[in-house]
Amino acid sequence: MLALDGYLVAPLRSRFSLAVDTYDTWCLLLPIAGSFDYEVGDAHGTAKFGDVVVCPPGGTLRRRMRTRTSFFHARFTTSLEPRPGCTRLRDLDRLRGNLALLENANTAIATHVVTDLVLMLRRARSPQDRLVHSAMTYLLEHYASPELSLSELASALGISPPQLSRRFRDVRGVTPVAYLRDLRLQKARELLTESDDTLQVIAEHTGYRSAFYLSRVFSAQTGQSPSEYRRTSRV
């Protein structure tokens, strides 16, 4: 069912040894304490306790700590096919129990823990995925509109804003508002590196009302101003 290729229980630290890595096998990364930003394929966001980030074989995992973080990382082969990206686990007590087993673990125990985590990830799939998929599609189609709001999205899907936020976070690990912000910033990054558009034009194409507001959000989330990012990211 699952064979463990390696694992690491890392104490609190301020940065990952590698910001980017590509794996031949499946891998999972979850915060025990603290939080980190991640990117796997089209999935990106912030993971904190209860979230599990999965990267498929041949995939690239990007990560950057937002705070000092302790984490569990494992590489494995399996026929269970966990879903890539970030999944929010429902049973946090069971997660804590699994992590406690790792305190004095050998390979057999660690294999048991990873197997159980993968099973928990599979159980986290639910009928909510369809609604969340619809929400993601709507956000992808309307992210450039500065009028887009959680209320508009919830109304389009026929659900209340609090219910939508809870269901979206259960599946994606972030709220719709945070997902929209990350989506807009990703599009802004692409335009900064692939075009010569002014920041005001980029703001208009990514749902921000002004270059000033885009610059403020961009700097707060990435630690760089848009101009710095453009200068350092172009080849």
Cα→Cα distances 187→149, 164, 170, 199, 204, Å: 18, 24, 25, 12, 11
pLDDT of amino acid 74: 96
For residues 224 and 188, give the distance between their C-alpha atoms in angstroms, rounded to a whole number. Answer: 13
| CB-based contact 89:50 (threshold 8 Å) | yes
Lowest mean pLDDT among 40-44, 54-58, 115-119: 40-44
pLDDT at position 234 is 67
pLDDT per position as a tens digit, 152-168:
999 999 999 999 998 88
In the prediction, which pLDDT does 235 show? 56
Q: Is the pLDDT assigned to residue 44 strictly greater than 60? A: yes
**pLDDT exceeds 70 at position 128:** no
Which pLDDT score, from 0 to 100, does residue 173 have?
Answer: 66
Model pTM above 0.95 = no
What is the structure's pLDDT at 122? 80
